[in-house]
Amino acid sequence: MADSSGKFGSAEFVVIANRLPVDRVVAPDGSTTWRTSPGGLVTALEPVMRRKGGAWIGWHGAPDEKLRPFTHQGLKLVPVHLSESEVVEYYEGFSNGTLWPLYHDVIAPPAFHREWWDAYVTVNRRFAERAAKVAAEGAIVWVQDYQLQLVPAMLRELRPDVRIGFFLHIPFPPTELFQQLPWRREILEGLLGADLVGFQLNGAAGNFIRLVRQRVGHKTHRDAVYLPDGRVVRANAYPISIDAAGFEEMARDPAVVARAAEIRESLGNPRTIVLGIDRLDYTKGLRQRIRAFGELITEGAVHPDDAVFVQVATPSRERVDQYRMLRDEIDRLVGRLNGDVGRIGQPPITYLHASYPREEMAALYRAADVMVVTPLRDGMNLVAKEYVACRYDDRGSLVLSEFAGAAGELKQAYLVNPYDINGMKQAMLDAIKAGPKEQARRMKALRKQVMENDIDQWANDFLSELAPATHTKRTRPSREQ
Ligand code: G6P
């Protein structure tokens, strides 16, 4: 991807994320396949890259493998390798053992280790160097998420000609928590290498600006940071979304409709199916949700003949201690409830520890009468938006945590505080009992919000702020297509 002089690459638009949109999976017989990577970041960005073209730089999910750039289903992918010790120290360690819990309200205690930090610096530099090689002169480079917060400044040093955007997909913590980080100043300075720093919510952008003023000492005014060299960095909120029309189209597919009916059938055609779909993560409030549903059943407010709860938990970061402990805890909770009140062929909770293709998710969304999304803290939560996009029939109810970024937009959901088990039980009960009219009233309003603020809108808003002159016009597919 280098030009003939070898000085610059040829990609006018570059996305850098810790993960490529696909993971390389090696089967026991040695054959390899590619599987969609987990998480909301990939769901959101993949359609953007399909429409805009350009190169996607990221790790392919396996340690100790150096791969050459390749094209996969029309996407230009540029793999970055991580050694086994970098997976442990940069990915599982600093990214997911330090930053992830620190940025999510310290729900789990963050660990601070100097060798994790050193690996984070090394790997961030590798990503920045790769981007510097791939980007064309004056390209737009868009760095994603908490794993790569040093890349903007490192890249600016190597390639002052490119426009650099950064978007944080997860919450940005309040100053009191961020200050615990021994490398707080380095992280802030890393982010300030960007021209535009994007967050999910206004509060997060405000936290960042305040920290930059207090900790780095730069002058700030509203959304702008004034650097001593005259450069201005902006920080704003851009609530991320999904390819809403794409999800709706998938949900309308006759094969998906048939699969939804099959799912209902195999659950015994209960009156109500309650559904949760999450990465298996301690931020998602799974424990609280299962307890709330369990109490509704054991106290008799909901009869096990009438309602079943399906929980899909996608495996995630399985070698990190806190994730291992969570898995054991959820296994125990589900096992106890099913053991206590289940009958032959009728467990109140169907628990699936697996990842499924998007079509299966769409069928589940279509089959579910009540969707419960109850994280203790979440940057946005795209599952909530996916459910709404799939309910073109204006049916179904969404129970949503106030602590998901999506609550700011999805106000007609049944909003809950996931720490308040009684409040959550009441909201679940209200949602289970809602009649078709009430469902339609809420769902219509939710759909208006989700269908009108899709991923194209998000990318357009961010990119036109980052590079107004070069940005191409929005291409929004019509819903009738
Ligand atoms: C969240 C993060 C992403 C991450 C995803 C999956 O959505 O914001 O950056 O890729 O979780 O987590 P994983 O550790 O499997 O990449």
Which pLDDT score, from 0 to 100, does residue 349 have? 97
Ligand 1 centre to CA of 168 (Å) is 11
Looking at the structure, tell me whether residues 306 and 382 fall in a common domain. Answer: yes
Q: Atom 6 (ligand 1): residue with closest C-alpha? A: 39
Q: Atom 1 (ligand 1): residue with closest C-alpha? A: 39
Whether 5 maps to a domain, the answer reads: no
Looking at the structure, tell me whether residues 236 and 251 fall in a common domain. Answer: no
Pairing of strands 349-352, 11-19: unpaired
370-422 tens-digit pLDDT: 999 999 999 999 999 999 999 999 999 999 999 999 999 999 999 999 999 99
Ligand 1 centre to CA of 305 (Å) is 37
pLDDT of 5 over the 60 cut: no
Residue ranges making up the domain that contains 71: 11-240+456-470
Which of 15, 35, 37 has most ligand 1 atoms within 8 Å of its beta carbon, as the pocket-test mutant?
Answer: 37
Q: Is 60 in the pocket of ligand 1 (CB under 6 A)?
A: no
Q: Is 99 in the pocket of ligand 1 (CB under 6 A)?
A: no
Which pLDDT score, from 0 to 100, does residue 343 have? 87
Looking at the structure, tell me whether residues 347 and 256 fall in a common domain. Answer: yes
Which pLDDT score, from 0 to 100, does residue 26 have? 86
pLDDT of 471 over the 50 cut: no
Ligand 1 centre to CA of 268 (Å) is 34
Which of 16, 41, 46, 146 has most ligand 1 atoms within 8 Å of its beta carbon, as the pocket-test mutant?
Answer: 41
274 in Cβ contact with 369 (< 8 Å): yes
Ligand 1 centre to CA of 334 (Å) is 25
Which pLDDT score, from 0 to 100, does residue 32 have? 87
Looking at the structure, tell me whether residues 272 and 186 fall in a common domain. Answer: no
243-263 tens-digit pLDDT: 999 999 999 999 999 999 999
222-246 tens-digit pLDDT: 999 999 999 999 999 999 999 999 9
Residue 350, Cβ density class (10 Å: 0-12 exposed, 13-18 middle, ≥19 buried): middle
Whether 288 maps to a domain, the answer reads: yes
Whether 4 maps to a domain, the answer reads: no
DSSP string over 386-439: HHHHH-TTS--EEEEETTBGGGGT-TTSEEE-TT-HHHHHHHHHHHHH--HHHH
In the chain, the number of structural domains is: 2
71-118 tens-digit pLDDT: 999 999 999 999 999 999 999 999 999 999 999 999 999 999 999 999
Looking at the structure, tell me whether residues 219 and 152 fall in a common domain. Answer: yes
Among 334, 328, 337, smallest CA distance to 276 is for 334
Of ligand 1's listed atoms, the one at least distance from the Cα of 40 is 7
> At residue 229, what is the residue type?
D
Q: Is 192 in the pocket of ligand 1 (CB under 6 A)?
A: no
Whether 480 maps to a domain, the answer reads: no
Of ligand 1's listed atoms, the one at least distance from the Cα of 42 is 10
Looking at the structure, tell me whether residues 227 and 321 fall in a common domain. Answer: no
Whether 478 maps to a domain, the answer reads: no
Q: Is 97 in the pocket of ligand 1 (CB under 6 A)?
A: no
Ligand 1 centre to CA of 60 (Å) is 13
DSSP string over 303-349: -TTTEEEEEEEE--STTSHHHHHHHHHHHHHHHHHHHHH-BTTB-SE
| Alpha helices for 212-274 (secondary structure H) | 244-252, 254-266
Looking at the structure, tell me whether residues 220 and 257 fall in a common domain. Answer: no
Looking at residues 19-26, what average pLDDT do you find?
91
Of ligand 1's listed atoms, the one at least distance from the Cα of 147 is 9
Which pLDDT score, from 0 to 100, does residue 480 have? 34
Of ligand 1's listed atoms, the one at least distance from the Cα of 379 is 8
Measured between alpha carbons, how far is 357 from 37 in angstroms, rounded to an integer? 10
Q: Is 58 in the pocket of ligand 1 (CB under 6 A)?
A: no
DSSP state of 302: S
203 in Cβ contact with 379 (< 8 Å): no
271-297 tens-digit pLDDT: 999 999 999 999 999 999 999 999 999
Q: Which helix (H) or strand (E) holds 56?
A: strand 55-59
Q: Is 316 in the pocket of ligand 1 (CB under 6 A)?
A: yes
Looking at the structure, tell me whether residues 205 and 77 fall in a common domain. Answer: yes
Q: Is 259 in the pocket of ligand 1 (CB under 6 A)?
A: no
Looking at the structure, tell me whether residues 316 and 222 fall in a common domain. Answer: no
289: CATH: 3.40.50.2000
Which pLDDT score, from 0 to 100, does residue 64 have? 92
Looking at the structure, tell me whether residues 275 and 227 fall in a common domain. Answer: no
Which of 316, 377, 386 has most ligand 1 atoms within 8 Å of its beta carbon, as the pocket-test mutant?
Answer: 316
Q: Which helix (H) or strand (E) holds 156?
A: helix 151-158
The CB-side HSE value for 63 (13 A sphere, CA atoms) comes to 10
Which pLDDT score, from 0 to 100, does residue 6 have? 63
306 in Cβ contact with 271 (< 8 Å): yes
Looking at the structure, tell me whether residues 213 and 290 fall in a common domain. Answer: no
Whether 477 maps to a domain, the answer reads: no
Whether 38 maps to a domain, the answer reads: yes
Looking at the structure, tell me whether residues 232 and 265 fall in a common domain. Answer: no
Ligand 1 centre to CA of 120 (Å) is 16
Which pLDDT score, from 0 to 100, does residue 470 have? 54
pLDDT above 70 covers a percentage of the chain that reads: 96
Among 199, 193, 229, 227, smallest CA distance to 213 is for 227
> At residue 290, what is the residue type?
I
Quote the pTM value: 0.95
432 φ/ψ angles, rounded to the nearest 5 degrees: -65, -35
Ligand 1 centre to CA of 41 (Å) is 7
Q: Is 61 in the pocket of ligand 1 (CB under 6 A)?
A: no
Ligand 1 centre to CA of 146 (Å) is 9
Whether 174 maps to a domain, the answer reads: yes
pLDDT above 90 covers a percentage of the chain that reads: 89
Mean pLDDT of the chain: 94
